[in-house]
Amino acid sequence: MEASPGSGHYGVYDLGAHVWSYTPDGAKPVLWMSEKSAFEEGSPIRGGIPIVFPWFAAGPDGTKAPAHGFGRISTWHRSDIKDTIEQDGRLIVEYELDDKMSGDQAEFPHRYTAYVRVKFTPEYLQVGMMVSNDGDEPFTFENAFHTYLTVGDVRQVSVEGLDGCDYLDRAAGAEKLERTQTGPVTITAETDRLYTHKDTVVLTDPVLDRRITVSKTGSANTVVWNPWVAKSAAMPDFGDDEWTGMICIEAANALDNAITLRPGETHTMRQRIALG
């Protein structure tokens, strides 16, 4: 699904219910996409907003595959479109995925329905994910919006709003929340941090001369990620020098903050990205 509000551009793929473009009229692209990404059924898309579900990374026990769950490599059913771009620059696209569509999943043998709702507006992009337990037994899942944001030079940006938050330093191989953020986050090496954080962050980009506000609800964690030099060179779907132009800021529920749903229960997570 693609749409062009004036000089802008909105885009979302059915594969993964994956938002890949958000460029408001007159603005620079907000979402980053790798030039090396493979757009193939069964392969994850590198960039935009991958939907992480029903586990984060390799899951709490570190054994699950594919990485970040099957949700991002499944084709979701596009259930509704509300296109009012001509009137107000807005587009809403809704998707569904359930256990019948995703098929036999040994690592997640549960009856569920997941819904993704994407709202594009000139002022903000909002992505929501609702997960329902349709079965007779409780189940636990992790989820995230693995959001890649475009920056002028990641070495010059700062992320405010995480001061005082404990975090898991995944790049250092840490196994527990043993560090605490002091001041704004800056990127000076490979960065992969899972913060305990429910609130809003602000990305300041002096090169592109803009601020991006990332707010959320229904999320207990915020992830900040940049692969830096060596890791980006080792990934076939990531250009060797592309790491300078992106940073991931992700709403998530992972590890100790995984969500447990009893039969009939539903959980909703939302993330809003706004310029200014």
| Residues 58 and 69 sit within 8 Å (Cβ to Cβ) | no
Report cis status (omega within 30 of 0) of the bond before 236: no
Domain around 74: 2-275
How is residue 145 annotated by DSSP? E
Per the structure, the count of domains in the chain is 1
Task: Give the 3-state secondary structure of residue 171.
Answer: helix
The pLDDT tens digits of the residues spanning 210-240 come to 999 999 999 999 999 999 999 999 999 999 9
* AA identity, residue 255: L
Both tokens of residue 89? 């620059």
CATH number of the domain at 139, please.
2.70.98.10
HEC per residue, 218-264: CCCEEEEEECHHHHHHHCCCCCCCHHHHEEEEEEEECHHHCEEECCC
CA distance linking residue 76 with residue 128, whole number of Å: 14
pLDDT classification of 39: cutoffs 50, 70, 90 = confident
Q: What is the pLDDT of residues 48-86, one digit of tens each?
A: 999 999 999 999 989 999 999 999 999 999 999 999 999
This model's pTM is above 0.85: yes
